[in-house]
Structure 1
Amino acid sequence: MRTLFPVETTVRVDENCRLWVQSRGDEHAVPVLLVMGANTSGLGWPERFVDELAERYRVVRYDHRDTGRSSRVFDEHPYAIRDLATDAVAVLDALDIERAHVVGMSMGGVLVQLLLLDHPHRLRSATLFGSAALGAQLAGGSEEGDGLPGVDPRLLAMWERIFEQRSPEEELAWRVEHWRLLNGDVLEFDPDWFRELERRIMAHSGTHRESWAHASADTGGLDRGDELIGVTTPTLVIEAPEDPVAPPPHAEYLARALGGAKRVEIPGMGHALGEPVLGPLVSTIRRHVEEVEAERRG
């Protein structure tokens, strides 16, 4: 049976937590799991991006806890960032996916690093971008200890206001401005495109109120950068030279920490998935997946 349209399901992690999951593409195709960044619904992966990958693969995206349609549990049942990595394994288990190519953005890249260390048998390959290495800066480290550049001060100023209560229109405007800063200063920024993205996310979530649970979650257990050198899973690190969250040389540092990881730059890319980067990003991920699959076939 070929399933080319989106299929939605709910995955039960435990008695308190359920995750919204969507699968798109041929269910018998090679699986690709998308792991989004902090406080962001799975709909943060743009439709065009998912559709183009789904032309060749079975693409799975999901809402982290406290985002989208997944359970809002943090206030009563606090969890650690590392628990979000085990949620990704629960998604694979529920869909009977033994091994997947896993793509992680931002915090999602941190979670994929944990999967590389703790569940390597579940990964065919890994692709990371917009992410710090475990033990560095936002991934369980400190700005003083690793010598890497920190987050753009303009973003830090915005993040000081993340817990403010805003009306729906104020919240929409805040999110669009946030994306503008994340986009970087090189590639064209289309506010209408990101406004529509956020309207879809709000409609999907059923609320305009953003949960910032991941900003409060325990970061313990992330200081494992020294273990990355032992990773043998084929891994690609995508360099986003205009990334204001994990600016250069974060990608180079991460690729070195992973030993045999490849590094490819997408010129002008920041920390946002706007239209100008979608084509190059899909092509880069496809090329990595196809190379790994060709090697597996021998």
Structure 2
Amino acid sequence: MTERMVTSGTARLWSEDHGDPGAPPVLLISGDCQSALFWPDEVVTALVGGGFHVIRYDHRDTGRSTHRDFAANPYTFDDLTADAIAVLDAWDVGAAHVVAFSMGAGLAQLLAVDHPHRMLSQTLICTHALGIDFADNVARALAGEPSRDGLPLPESRVFEALELHAGPSADRSAELDRRVEGWRIMAGDAFDPAEFRRREERVIDHTGTLHQSIAHGYVTEGIATRGADLARITAPTLVVQAPLDPISPPPHGRHLAESIPGAALVEIPGMGHALTGAALDALLPAILAHLRR
């Protein structure tokens, strides 16, 4: 494993790689407000064992990457997409398989549309299509209003329970309790609190602070108007639908897969908006099969 700091505009991004640099590259893109360590080591180990060179990185405002006040230093989804390109450039990767989760899978869609030569394939996990106005959907869910597009809204209980705008807890144990409870709400079946407590322990150690940035929640530009562009995607695409996902509930995955030419859809039974150990047992073989195709 090698660590590398990457410059993207005015941001510095922490990244690391695993496996043989000569093997086919896989770029892991985390969800919103999640560092590289969102991806459990089981994912990295399986991909390296499958013959791939794995790169993961901290989004800006997460982990060991640049942290700034968003109001004074705003950015867009296009900027976050440029961050992914900067990571590929820093690791001398011309094109990669992209495996992405939630907001990261939105960035992957932008990569596939705007930088098709940088993508070998994409795996889009627990997300919605370009063209979906997620910020408006959240507002509608909290207000008890119906969806504009006929697709289900996120479940308001998620945002109410997580108290997205609350600061960090007073001590490490309380902060871990808060984060684990947040994952419990999102994770679906077979949730193991000890598993997620261990993961969040590592995230806090990696970041060096109890504070968990919510900056990505303020990013609104770059996705909601791009729906028609999905028809131009040529990268082989696997869409993963989690039937118990409270953020992008079914049939968001099917809608996304039907919007991308030739995309395949797989549903992972019992999965919510999290990478539980139980979900990985079914998810990892599906990802590896897609990458090998």
The answer, yes or no, to whether TM exceeds 0.5 is yes
**Residue identity in the other structure for 2:174:** E
Separation in structure 2 between the aligned mates of residue 279 and residue 157 of structure 1, nearest angstrom: 30
The match for 2:93 among 69, 94, 97 is 97
Mapped contact 2:6–2:14 kept (Cα < 8 A): yes
Segment of structure 1 superposing worse, 83-92 or 165-174: 165-174
Are residue 195 (structure 1) and residue 191 (structure 2) matched? no
> Which residue number in structure 2 is paired with residue 172 of structure 1?
176
> Which residue number in structure 2 is paired with residue 70 of structure 1?
65
Are residue 118 (structure 1) and residue 114 (structure 2) matched? yes
> Which residue number in structure 1 is paired with residue 251 of structure 2?
249
> Which residue number in structure 2 is paired with residue 61 of structure 1?
56
The match for 2:22 among 2, 25, 28 is 28
Segment of structure 1 superposing worse, 229-238 or 192-201: 229-238
Are residue 268 (structure 1) and residue 270 (structure 2) matched? yes
DSSP-derived class of the 1:145 partner? coil
**Residue identity in the other structure for 1:112:** A
The match for 1:87 among 59, 83, 86 is 83
Mapped contact 1:132–1:139 kept (Cα < 8 A): no
DSSP-derived class of the 1:97 partner? coil
Separation in structure 2 between the aligned mates of residue 228 and residue 220 of structure 1, nearest angstrom: 14
Deviation at 1:220, TM superposition (A): 4.2
Mapped contact 2:168–2:212 kept (Cα < 8 A): no
> Which residue number in structure 1 is paired with residue 157 of structure 2?
154
Deviation at 1:23, TM superposition (A): 0.4
DSSP-derived class of the 2:148 partner? helix
Mapped contact 1:34–1:104 kept (Cα < 8 A): yes
Mapped contact 1:128–1:237 kept (Cα < 8 A): yes
Segment of structure 1 superposing worse, 196-205 or 44-53: 44-53
CA offsets 1:76-111 (integer angstroms, 9 cap, x no match): 421112211110000001111011000110000100
DSSP-derived class of the 2:87 partner? helix
CA offsets 1:193-249 (integer angstroms, 9 cap, x no match): 100100000000000110111011233454211110121111110111111110100
Give RMSD over aligned pairs: 1.6
> Which residue number in structure 2 is paired with residue 10 of structure 1?
5
DSSP-derived class of the 2:199 partner? helix
With structure 2 as the length reference, what TM-score do the two structures score? 0.92
Deviation at 1:265, TM superposition (A): 1.3
> Which residue number in structure 2 is paired with residue 46 of structure 1?
40
> Which residue number in structure 1 is paired with residue 144 of structure 2?
none
Mapped contact 1:68–1:205 kept (Cα < 8 A): yes
Q: Name structure 1 gaps, 5 residues minimum.
A: 1-5, 292-298
Aligned length: 283
CA offsets 1:94-142 (integer angstroms, 9 cap, x no match): 1110110001100001000100110000000011011110121427768
Deviation at 1:283, TM superposition (A): 0.7
